[in-house]
């Protein structure tokens, strides 16, 4: 099985019908150092444990009976199954369905009509795969995602892969290739110098997403801002051809073996780049159009003159043997084969405009349609007519009246005119599907949406539909900052999330729990909706994060019908069931994640000041934090799906256990048992003394795997750290209350695995299966995401949500420690933190509020009467950006009891920026005992006795990439909890994993990013 994964771009899942072969196969893969990329599991039954359209190759050996229809269900388009039949093999192939479509250019194809000929894409109900990055890098700067296209079952992304902790750290622009149906990363290549990441957000440049095109097995890209056009093998990432004399390429189109390029003068481009970085006005970039033979690279023709000099971005289009573009004065048509002029028509535009604002030009059949903001009554002439006065600013909402004009493609004669309007910091939408041209008005929440469709031949309105507000609440005050898309069945809007308008009925449904990325949006293709990562703080407690591929309901499937698909027994028993003696409870243990069910992070032991390393063991890979109980230390290696038990005195491995998927947290130890969840959708209970299985419980209704970050995982994954309370193990399974039937919440008997309590948490309307119209509440919305659970002794908590012990939702919440983005989010994204409170307000102006009012930080510890935290000293509101308001990291202590909340008394005159009668800001309720800056940036924080232990890298890690990676020093520091005085510090070789410290029985245990676990003890007197 391991031989099937010769390179990292292959993920292999072995299914063994003979359980006895599983352990041997796993050992062999472990020895080959490929486990995780290759994994082995037992398989019994006739239904494969995969989402539809996920697998590229299935090899079925004798002894496994799987029907051909089932193989085809699991296979991705163009996938193949090989079935052994005695000495022979037969092949089952899955053809490319005619019902799905690719998306090869920025606006679908070279005709610029952003409509996929895809009848499978529909409202999202299932998660097909998820990839990184989890967050875009900055909300106030250049978008993290520059371009996304898909062809031949692959998807290609230009993204900034730099640290999300701070946009001030250097960018890492990268071209990624993933399998379009599984999300497996096939390859990646670095991108050289790119647009400045400090360019103001939603300010363009509009041609940036036009630098990437994929056709068949070739990717055409500029692998740097001023580098020549390059053809890359789509399967391997290797260079096929570099096209000389194409330096300065800004836009790429591909039609029938010919590349059509817009090329800017490199010196002008360099001057423009410097102007953006200095905040100066943009100079004119003189442009040309070049046609190349894609195979040979030979020039077919070039046009460089007054017509091309002021060519407007995104207007180049090719269809029907003709090439079209707009400049500041006219619409130009050339013969695509020769470059000879065919006609030109007057089409003056506004030459003073925001840097994102460009005309929309599409070609369909016998007409070319241009839409743009209205030109002035007296357009400029002479040299001034060719000059654009660009404004580079993040200011939004500028959408003046506009006009769409249709021209005959044969002679350029005007056919008709109609009013139109730009979007919110986005060009006009022109979406031609099913012989109707859709455009609309949807800048503000009160705008109706895309409600009318015109006959493209006459411009006459042929269809009208109700306002969007009839079907859903737009939620946000304005549309998202990108163009809308469409398929043959739906309009895909971006008012607050992803809203779908049924073109047949005119009805619409909202999905505000998912959102496209700034300046790009979403991509409908391959039967799915691809949603690149965002950096939005709106709906933060509900909205999906990361790069998501979302699938519609399967044929014949009913929304919210997940309860009817429960297959097989969920509980399976192991040899250790009932054969475990409960160990004596030692209060100085650290038996669960963050010590206790409250997730306090406060130990019940003392460690000391002058620490020395007692032992160190190298496990390797990506480690979780550790737990410690019964004289053992427990840790999981995520990338190997393996849980380890180490001797607490020596660090020697006592046993290890391989789960069916990633284990993202350490086990919880209770009654002599080790319990943990896995991303394979199961909860495991092992005998803590030897790792023997007591029981295993499948949390989801069926064993269905999708792909997550190059690892198979269940549609209902479980976090590693399980909450144990009064003999009951509680956990949540799922990705979202809006996906795959929702989140399943369980309470199981620790000793037997039997269900004590359960509920399914879904926020879809039970009748329609859609998001309820009343779900949106300002910048928040009804819904939830899974997390490690906690409890105050009575209630259960999952982020801000509260549940009773019977797993049913409860409104009676209480103050508790949580993070709106989850306990184990280690990205250090700048718009989140932990807090000790009851609620977190989402939104561009709300995300900072709780952090300035209640105890908050990157890491926090809750003691009997005090709170300790490490984090920023304040959180700037609105669009202030990162590290622009003098904020600093600090270590602090505060009273657990808040001081009385104070409100600023109303003035006779309203404060600047606040209307009369508005709510006065609530001041901080935190009663600080001490607060101080620290040299070390805390990645781990623990309280043990009267000492605080903080570990992390030195320096300004948000500005200095060397400091960020620990090159400026890493240390473990000891502070007096009473006054914050530093007592000792010792150097470390590696940065801790997030929350990687724990203390038990006089030992301080640390898991670090280099895959090591180290035990420290105080030096003997």
Residues 606-652 pLDDT 10s: 999 999 999 999 999 999 999 999 999 999 999 999 999 999 999 99
Q: What angle do CA 279, 285, 288 make, to 5 degrees?
A: 160
Q: What pLDDT sits at residue 914?
A: 34
What mean pLDDT is predicted for residues 659-674? 98
For residue 427, which of 363, 485, 500, 497 has the smallest C-alpha distance? 485
For residue 850, which of 864, 835, 865 has the smallest C-alpha distance? 835
Q: State the burial class of residue 376 (Cβ atoms within 10 Å of its Cβ: 0-12, 13-18, 19+).
A: exposed
Q: What pLDDT sits at residue 332?
A: 98
3-state secondary structure of 252: strand
What mean pLDDT is predicted for residues 200-206? 85
What mean pLDDT is predicted for residues 734-741? 97
| pLDDT above 70: residue 1018 | yes
Contacts with 36 (C-beta within 8 Å, 6 or more apart), sequence order: 621, 639, 640, 641, 662, 711
Distance CA 70, CA 51 (A): 11
Average pLDDT, the chain: 93
Q: What pLDDT sits at residue 902?
A: 58
Contacts with 807 (C-beta within 8 Å, 6 or more apart), sequence order: 730, 745, 746, 747, 757, 758, 759, 796
Which of the two residues, 382 and 395, has the higher pLDDT score? 395
pLDDT band at residue 903 using 50, 70 and 90 as cut-offs: low
Q: What pLDDT sits at residue 921?
A: 53
Q: How far lies 905's CA from each of 278, 846, 853, 915, 925, in Å?
A: 42, 21, 17, 14, 16
pLDDT band at residue 912 using 50, 70 and 90 as cut-offs: very low
Q: Which two tokens stand for residue 816?
A: 């508790």
3-state secondary structure of 406: strand
What mean pLDDT is predicted for residues 711-736? 98
pLDDT band at residue 901 using 50, 70 and 90 as cut-offs: low
Q: What pLDDT sits at residue 919?
A: 44
Q: What pLDDT sits at residue 213?
A: 99
**pLDDT 10s digits, 523-536:** 999 999 999 999 99
Q: What pLDDT sits at residue 2?
A: 62
Q: What pLDDT sits at residue 270?
A: 75
Strands 12-16 vs 38-42: parallel, antiparallel or unpaired: parallel
Strands 173-179 vs 154-160: parallel, antiparallel or unpaired: antiparallel
Q: How far lies 129's CA from each of 54, 160, 287, 541, 557, in Å?
A: 9, 20, 40, 20, 20
Reading across the β-sheet that carries 360-364, which strands appear in turn?
360-364, 367-373, 401-408, 414-421
Reading across the β-sheet that carries 755-761, which strands appear in turn?
723-725, 728-733, 743-749, 755-761
**pLDDT 10s digits, 415-463:** 999 999 999 999 999 999 999 999 999 999 999 999 999 999 999 999 9
Query: Which residue intervals of 641-779 are DSSP H helices?
Result: none
Q: What pLDDT sits at residue 279?
A: 73
Distance CA 324, CA 853 (A): 56
Q: pLDDT over 90 for what percent of the chain?
A: 82
Q: What pLDDT sits at residue 4?
A: 64
Distance CA 671, CA 582 (A): 4
Q: What pLDDT sits at residue 911?
A: 39
**Torsion angle defined by CA atoms of residues 267, 270, 274 and 277, in that order, rounded to the nearest 10 degrees:** 160
Q: What pLDDT sits at residue 350?
A: 92
Q: What pLDDT sits at residue 139?
A: 85
pLDDT band at residue 906 using 50, 70 and 90 as cut-offs: very low
| pLDDT above 60: residue 774 | yes
Domains and CATH numbers, the chain: 2-93 (3.40.50.150), 115-551 (2.130.10.10), 558-587+626-664+666-787 (2.40.128.630), 590-623+826-902+920-1021 (no CATH)
Q: What pLDDT sits at residue 913?
A: 37
pLDDT band at residue 821 using 50, 70 and 90 as cut-offs: very high
Distance CA 535, CA 138 (A): 6
Neighbouring CB atoms inside 10 A of 189's CB total: 16
Contact call for residues 329 and 176 (beta carbons, < 8 A): no
Distance CA 21, CA 42 (A): 9
pLDDT band at residue 376 using 50, 70 and 90 as cut-offs: confident
Q: What pLDDT sits at residue 759?
A: 96
What mean pLDDT is predicted for residues 494-521? 96
What mean pLDDT is predicted for residues 276-297? 87
What mean pLDDT is predicted for residues 923-949? 95
Which of the two residues, 716 and 85, has the higher pLDDT score? 716
For residue 486, which of 543, 533, 439, 419 has the smallest C-alpha distance? 439
Q: What pLDDT sits at residue 383?
A: 65
Distance CA 609, CA 141 (A): 44
For residue 167, which of 882, 938, 887 has the smallest C-alpha distance? 882
Q: Which two tokens stand for residue 426?
A: 């986005």
Q: How far lies 976's CA from each of 402, 601, 945, in Å?
A: 66, 16, 10
Q: What pLDDT sits at residue 5?
A: 62
| pLDDT above 90: residue 378 | no
| pLDDT above 80: residue 880 | no
Contact call for residues 452 and 460 (beta carbons, < 8 A): no
**pLDDT 10s digits, 887-899:** 899 999 999 998 8
Predicted model pTM: 0.95
| pLDDT above 80: residue 900 | no
Distance CA 936, CA 949 (A): 11
pLDDT band at residue 907 using 50, 70 and 90 as cut-offs: very low
**pLDDT 10s digits, 745-756:** 999 999 999 999
| pLDDT above 60: residue 878 | yes
Among the ranges given (63-77, 377-391, 661-675, 710-724), the one the predictor scored with the smallest mean pLDDT:
377-391
Distance CA 797, CA 510 (A): 27
Distance CA 873, CA 833 (A): 12
3-state secondary structure of 269: helix
| pLDDT above 70: residue 565 | no
**pLDDT 10s digits, 132-185:** 999 999 888 899 999 999 999 999 999 999 999 999 999 999 999 999 999 999
What mean pLDDT is predicted for residues 830-849? 92
* DSSP category for residue 28: H
Q: Which two tokens stand for residue 536?
A: 């939005």
């Amino acid at each position: 099985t391991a031989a099937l994964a010769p390179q990292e771009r292959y993920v292999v899942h072995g299914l063994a019908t003979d359980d006895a072969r599983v352990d041997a196969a796993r050992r062999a893969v472990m020895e080959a150092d490929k486990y995780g990329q290759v994994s082995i599991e037992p398989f019994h039954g006739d239904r494969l444990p995969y989402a539809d359209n996920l697998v590229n190759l299935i090899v079925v050996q004798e002894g496994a009976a799987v029907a051909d229809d089932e193989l085809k269900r699991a296979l991705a388009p163009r996938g193949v199954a090989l079935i052994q039949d005695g000495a022979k093999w037969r092949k089952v192939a899955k053809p490319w369905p005619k019902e799905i479509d690719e998306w090869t250019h920025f606006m679908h194809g070279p005709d610029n009509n952003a409509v996929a000929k895809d009848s499978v894409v529909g409202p999202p109900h299932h998660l097909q795969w998820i990839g990184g990055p989890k967050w875009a890098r900055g909300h106030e700067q250049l978008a993290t995602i520059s371009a996304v296209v898909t062809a031949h079952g692959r998807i290609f992304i230009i993204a900034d892969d730099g640290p999300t902790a701070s946009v001030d750290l250097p960018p890492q622009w990268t071209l990624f290739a993933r399998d379009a149906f599984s999300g497996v990363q096939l390859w990646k290549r670095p991108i050289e110098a790119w647009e400045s990441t400090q360019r103001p957000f939603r300010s363009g440049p509009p041609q940036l997403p036009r630098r990437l095109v994929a056709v068949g097995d070739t990717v055409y890209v500029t692998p740097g801002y001023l580098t020549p056009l390059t053809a890359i093998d789509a399967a391997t990432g290797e260079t096929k051809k570099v096209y000389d004399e194409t330096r300065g390429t800004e836009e790429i189109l591909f039609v029938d073996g010919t590349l059509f390029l817009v090329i800017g003068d490199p010196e002008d481009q360099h001057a423009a780049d410097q102007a953006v970085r200095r905040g100066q006005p943009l100079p004119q970039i003189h442009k040309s159009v070049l046609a190349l033979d894609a195979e040979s690279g030979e020039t077919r023709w070039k046009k460089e003159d007054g017509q091309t000099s002021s060519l407007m971005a995104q207007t180049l289009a090719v269809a029907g043997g003709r090439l079209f573009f707009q400049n500041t004065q006219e619409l130009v048509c050339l013969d695509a084969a020769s470059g000879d002029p065919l006609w030109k028509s007057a089409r003056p535009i506004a030459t003073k405009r925001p840097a994102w604002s460009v005309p929309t030009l599409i070609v369909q059949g016998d007409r070319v349609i241009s839409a743009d903001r209205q030109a002035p009554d007296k357009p400029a002439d002479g040299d001034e007519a060719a000059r654009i006065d660009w404004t580079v600013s993040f200011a939004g909402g500028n959408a003046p009246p506009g006009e769409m004009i249709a021209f005959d493609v044969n002679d350029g004669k005007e056919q008709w005119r109609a009013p139109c309007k730009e979007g919110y910091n986005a060009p006009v939408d022109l979406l031609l599907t099913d012989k109707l041209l859709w455009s609309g008005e949807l800048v503000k929440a009160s705008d109706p949406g895309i409600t009318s469709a015109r006959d493209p031949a006459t411009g006459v309105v042929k269809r009208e539909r109700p306002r969007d507000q009839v079907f859903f609440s737009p939620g946000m005050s304005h549309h998202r900052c990108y163009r809308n898309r469409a398929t043959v069945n739906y309009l895909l809007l971006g008012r607050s999330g992803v809203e779908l308008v049924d073109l047949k009925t005119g009805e619409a449904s909202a999905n505000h729990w998912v959102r496209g990325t700034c300046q790009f949006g979403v991509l409908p293709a391959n039967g799915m909706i691809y949603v690149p990562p965002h950096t939005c703080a709106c709906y933060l407690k509900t909205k999906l994060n990361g790069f998501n591929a979302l699938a519609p309901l399967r044929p014949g499937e009913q929304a919210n019908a997940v309860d009817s698909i429960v297959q097989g027994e969920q509980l399976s028993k192991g040899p250790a069931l009932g054969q475990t003696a409960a160990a004596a409870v030692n209060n100085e243990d650290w038996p669960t994640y963050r010590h206790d069910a409250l997730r306090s992070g406060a130990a019940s032991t003392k460690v000391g000041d002058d620490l020395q390393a007692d032992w160190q063991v190298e496990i390797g890979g990506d480690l979780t934090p550790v737990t410690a109980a019964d004289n053992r230390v427990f840790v999981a290696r995520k990338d190997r799906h393996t849980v380890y038990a180490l001797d607490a005195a020596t660090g020697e491995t006592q046993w290890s256990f391989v789960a069916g998927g990633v284990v993202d947290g350490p086990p919880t130890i209770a009654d002599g048992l080790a319990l943990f969840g896995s991303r394979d959708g199961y909860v495991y209970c092992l005998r803590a003394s030897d790792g023997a299985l007591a029981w295993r419980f499948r949390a989801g209704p069926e064993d269905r795997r999708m792909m997550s970050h190059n690892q198979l995982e269940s549609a209902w994954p479980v976090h590693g750290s399980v909450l144990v309370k009064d003999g009951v193990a509680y956990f949540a399974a799922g990705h979202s209350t809006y996906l795959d039937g929702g989140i399943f919440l369980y309470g199981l008997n620790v000793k037997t695995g039997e269900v004590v309590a359960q509920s399914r948490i879904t926020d879809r309307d039970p009748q329609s299966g859609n998001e309820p119209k009343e779900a949106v509440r300002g910048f928040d919305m009804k819904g939830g995401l899974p997390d490690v659970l906690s409890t105050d002794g009575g209630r259960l908590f999952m982020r801000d949500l509260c549940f009773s012990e019977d797993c049913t939702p409860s409104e009676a919440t209480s103050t508790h420690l949580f993070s709106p983005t989850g306990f184990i989010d280690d990205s250090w994204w700048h718009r989140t933190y932990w807090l000790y409170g009851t609620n977190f307000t989402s939104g561009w102006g709300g995300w900072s509020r709780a952090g300035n009012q209640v105890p908050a930080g990157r890491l926090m510890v809750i003691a009997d009467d005090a709170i300790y935290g490490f984090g920023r000293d304040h959180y700037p509101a609105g669009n202030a950006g990162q590290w622009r308001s003098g904020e600093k990291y600090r270590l602090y202590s505060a009273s657990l009891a808040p001081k009385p909340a104070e409100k600023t008394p109303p003035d006779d005159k309203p404060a600047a920026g606040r209307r009369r009668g508005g709510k006065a800001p609530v001041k901080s309720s935190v009663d600080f005992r001490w607060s101080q800056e620290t040299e070390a940036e805390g990645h781990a924080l623990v309280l043990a006795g009267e000492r605080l232990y903080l570990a992390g890298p030195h320096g300004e890690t948000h500005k200095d990439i060397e400091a960020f990676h620990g090159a400026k020093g890493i240390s473990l520091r000891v502070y007096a909890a009473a006054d914050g005085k530093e007592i000792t510090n010792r150097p470390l070789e590696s940065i801790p994993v997030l929350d990687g410290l724990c203390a038990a029985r006089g030992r301080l245990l640390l898991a670090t990013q280099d895959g090591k676990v180290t035990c420290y003890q105080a030096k003997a007197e």
